[in-house]
């Protein structure tokens, strides 16, 4: 179990590094938020079909959890729309860093879904992350709307990750991811169809957007999304969400390399990043000291 957990942690950190590019790509792609999300998602779906065929995994809809996959997809839709919307309203660094508040939301949601007590250290660590977030961005008055939208995105992120931690106990991550993405495509695609605002066909995109969408859809979505669900077989949602707080660190570093002064932060911001890293270290240490819990959560069984 320890060896599997170590592998899961390594994979999780690699996934988060990949996710660090999502905000960058969202800013680089010249598409509206809904067009960007729809294009990204159906490319991701195609990638999942290819992976399922290669691994011999069934994508049959004959599963009692199908309705839960589709409903969770609606939450993911809200998360992606608010995340990329926040990038358009502020900066890639701000949108990514605001996702750190997902730690607090997860600390509050996970006990409900897993029928356990709230762990005091999770609340403390989550609160420190929020304090670090405030330290990083202080009084960024011109980006207040973007910060609010990104924080809402963090709530949706925590919500669907906690639900997926339940679902992955009963099915493989590829089928879960496929139907959740199908839900995103149906919701956004249906809305754009009704409003007569469908995005251009894939091959009609500018070369730059085409390349970035392929990276976003296949690497950051197909691979990272499924792997992110799979690691929750070994890791708790709180550990996953706390580690995801490294995403803004990677995004900030990459953004600085691309846009320079436009994304540069103050000394206080870097102290905030250090606080986030300290929380990651403390959580890992506490998780190692805690005996593995045998949890059989089934809060969806009666739905």
> Model-level pTM?
0.82
| 296 occurs within a structural domain | no
Task: Determine the pLDDT at residue 138.
Answer: 65
Closest listed residue to residue 159, CA positions, set 219, 99, 119, 205: 99
Per-residue model confidence (pLDDT) at position 182: 96
Contact 187, 81 (CB under 8 A): no
Q: Is residue 267 part of a domain?
A: yes
Q: What range does the domain containing 209 cover?
A: 2-54+66-289
Amino acid 274: pLDDT: 78
The answer to whether residue 32 sits within a structural domain is yes
Domain assignment of residue 59, yes or no: no
Q: How many domains does the chain have?
A: 1
Question: Average pLDDT per run of 10 along the chain, which is 303 residues long?
Answer: 72 88 89 93 93 91 94 96 90 78 79 75 80 69 81 92 88 92 96 94 88 93 83 78 76 81 68 77 69 49 46
- DSSP string of 3-21? HHHHHHHHHHHHHHHHHTT
Structure tokens at 128: 């420190």
Report yes or no on 37 lying in a domain.
yes
For residues 52 and 58, the answer to whether their CB atoms sit within 8 Å is yes
**Per-residue pLDDT, 290:** 60
Tokens 């006990």, located at residue = 111
- Beta strand spans in the chain (E): none
Rounded Cα–Cα distance for residues 22 and 12 (Å): 16
Residue 206 lies in a domain: yes
Per-residue pLDDT, 296: 46
Surface-to-core class of residue 168, CB atoms within 10 Å of its CB (0-12 exposed, 13-18 middle, 19+ buried):
middle
- Residues 6 or more apart whose CB falls under 8 angstroms from that of 255 comprise 23, 24, 91, 92, 93, 262, 263
> Residue 149: inside a domain, yes or no?
yes
Task: Determine, yes or no, domain membership for 184.
Answer: yes
């Amino acid at each position: 179990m320890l060896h599997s957990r170590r592998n899961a942690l390594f994979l999780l950190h690699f996934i988060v590094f990949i996710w660090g590019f999502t905000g960058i790509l969202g800013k680089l792609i010249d598409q509206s938020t809904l067009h960007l999300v729809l294009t990204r998602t159906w490319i991701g779906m195609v990638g999942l079909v290819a992976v399922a065929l290669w691994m011999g995994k069934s994508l049959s809809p004959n599963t009692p959890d199908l309705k839960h996959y589709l409903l969770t997809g609606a939450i993911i839709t809200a998360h992606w729309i608010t995340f990329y919307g926040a990038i358009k309203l502020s900066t890639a660094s701000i949108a990514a860093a605001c996702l750190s508040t997902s730690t607090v939301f997860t600390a509050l949601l996970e006990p409900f879904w897993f029928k356990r007590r709230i762990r005091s250290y999770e609340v403390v660590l989550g609160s420190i992350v929020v304090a670090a977030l405030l330290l990083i961005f202080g009084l960024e008055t011109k980006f207040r709307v973007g910060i609010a939208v990104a924080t809402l995105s963090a709530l949706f992120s925590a919500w669907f990750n906690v639900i997926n931690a339940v679902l992955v106990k009963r099915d493989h991550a590829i089928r879960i991811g496929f139907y959740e993405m199908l839900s995103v495509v149906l919701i956004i695609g249906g809305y754009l169809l009704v409003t007569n605002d469908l995005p251009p066909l894939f091959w009609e995109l500018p070369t730059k957007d085409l390349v970035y969408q392929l990276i976003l859809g296949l690497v950051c979505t197909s691979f990272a999304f499924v792997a992110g669900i799979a690691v929750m077989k070994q890791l708790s949602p709180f550990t996953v969400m706390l580690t995801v707080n490294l995403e803004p660190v990677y995004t900030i570093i990459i953004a600085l390399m691309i846009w320079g002064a436009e994304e540069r932060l103050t000394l206080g911001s870097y102290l905030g990043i250090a606080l986030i890293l300290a929380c990651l270290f403390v959580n890992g240490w506490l998780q190692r000291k805690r005996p593995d819990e045998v949890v059989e959560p089934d809060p969806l069984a009666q739905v």
